[in-house]
């Protein structure tokens, strides 16, 4: 019997999810309704944040965050080159410049040394913010980052890391999204992420004023009567405040709203987050045990002691040159065997747009990580037998002897 194709990732949707969406389709509200607020409240509660602001995508969340903080022309933002394009692109949408940071070649994460180097390269540029990226489900050491940035705005791109825990200043672990050491955190709810809304994103923060600003910016910058402060309403020069239909736009905003349909799916998915994280971590642990037995040129990512991960991707670091096979050939041969893989990511600073803008940058950690990384299938619908199958196929393609029964410690 032909074995099923294993994509590198995919969503897991059950009948509860389908029924949740169906209820909204039968209701009076398809968008700007009660499900959005409920999703935001439940998400904020899940990550122990005071506020959550739903957006149409993680990219939109980043863009809103930069604009809400007044980041624009003449400003710069430091962020790692080992990330998806959106982290940097959103800076450019706001009109600011990107300063790319290097990363650890064995984790893909930036650290304090990389941040200092990037800051030194920035010379006299106005660094308005630093955006760290929690890659693959592991987290940057936020204590070190906050120490380095001082009073500069610090954001967390946690699109990969919903459900992870991170170290605080007392040696305890807090939830990613709690914003204990950052000004705000953004998440993605794309289908391959920890939970999905189809497309979507979320911002969490503990700043009430920022949350209010973000909600206005995501809907064209519009304020309605319920958004006005007591000072606004006391302004005798504007009698229109009292008109029930009145609204005003003081800032140029966007349409980054999330619908009730998407939010209903998010609420249902959020109930399963703990199970999804547990399943992903179990599968990734199995991968780690196997990958450590494939010889000196294949290994899993190095583990970060400052966090408890919520694995989004299972990345193998493979020295393709030493083994004598190209990554393209490995990907093609695995696909023939019914196994999908991917590369996360092509370094952003190597993209033509950014090379043309900033010239050629030497980021050795990023280059080394990129040259070896290969994302193996990882999603909650898999089981341990699927992992064994993937590793067996990978070993065969790489020409490595492998026996799954002997890869576990007694």
| Active site members | 193
Rounded to whole angstroms, what are the CA distances from 106 to 148, 232, 301, 302? 22, 53, 6, 6
Distance, in Å, from the CA atom of 398 to the CA atom of 393, rounded to the nearest integer, reads: 9
Contacts of 317 (CB under 8 A, 6+ apart): 106, 298, 299, 300, 301, 369, 372, 373, 374
- The single-letter DSSP state of residue 60 is H
In the sheet with 298-300, reading across from the earlier edge strand, the strands are 298-300, 314-318, 373-376
Edge-to-edge strand list for the sheet holding 165-167: 173-175, 165-167, 307-308
Strands (E), 212-264: 222-224, 247-249
CA 364 – CA 106 distance, rounded (Å): 12
What is the bridge-based pairing of β-strands 153-157 and 126-133?
parallel
């Amino acid at each position: 019997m032909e074995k099923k194709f294993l994509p590198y990732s995919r969503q897991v949707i059950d009948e509860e999810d389908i029924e949740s969406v169906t209820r909204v389709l039968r209701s009076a509200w398809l968008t700007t309704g009660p499900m959005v607020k409920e999703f935001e409240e439940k998400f904020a509660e899940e990550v122990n944040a005071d506020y959550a602001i739903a957006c149409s995508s993680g990219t939109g969340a980043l863009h809103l965050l930069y604009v809400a903080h007044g980041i624009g022309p003449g400003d710069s933002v430091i962020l790692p080159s080992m990330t998806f394009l959106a982290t940097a692109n959103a800076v450019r949408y706001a009109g600011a410049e990107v300063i790319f940071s290097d990363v650890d070649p064995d984790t893909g994460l930036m650290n304090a040394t990389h941040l200092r180097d990037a800051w030194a390269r920035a010379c006299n540029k106005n660094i308005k913010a630093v955006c760290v990226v929690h890659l693959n489900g592991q987290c940057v050491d936020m204590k070190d980052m906050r120490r380095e940035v001082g009073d500069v705005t610090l954001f967390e791109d946690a699109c990969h890391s919903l459900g992870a825990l991170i170290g605080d200043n007392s040696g305890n672990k807090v939830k990613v999204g709690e914003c204990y050491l950052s000004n705000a955190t953004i998440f993605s709810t794309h289908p391959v992420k920890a939970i999905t809304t189809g497309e979507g994103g979320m911002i969490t923060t503990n700043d009430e004023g920022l949350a209010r600003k973000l909600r206005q910016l995501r809907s064209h910058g519009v304020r309605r009567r319920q958004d006005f402060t007591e000072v606004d309403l006391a302004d005798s020069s504007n009698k229109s405040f009292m008109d029930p239909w009145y609204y005003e736009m003081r800032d140029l905003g966007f349409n980054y709203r999330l619908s009730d349909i998407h939010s209903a799916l998010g609420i249902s998915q959020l109930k399963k987050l703990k199970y999804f994280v547990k399943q992903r971590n179990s599968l990734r642990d199995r991968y780690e045990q196997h990958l450590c037995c494939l010889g000196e040129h294949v290994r899993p990512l190095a583990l970060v002691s400052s966090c408890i991960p919520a694995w989004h991707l299972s990345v193998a670091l493979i020295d393709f040159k030493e083994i004598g096979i190209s990554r393209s050939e490995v990907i093609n041969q695995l696909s023939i065997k019914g196994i999908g893989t991917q590369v996360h990511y092509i370094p952003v600073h190597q993209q033509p747009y950014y090379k043309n803008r900033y010239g050629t940058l030497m980021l050795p950690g990023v280059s080394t990580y990129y040259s070896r990384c290969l994302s193996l299938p990882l999603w909650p619908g898999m089981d341990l037998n699927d992992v064994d199958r993937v590793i067996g196929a990978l070993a065969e393609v790489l020409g490595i002897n492998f026996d799954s029964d002997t890869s576990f410690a007694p």
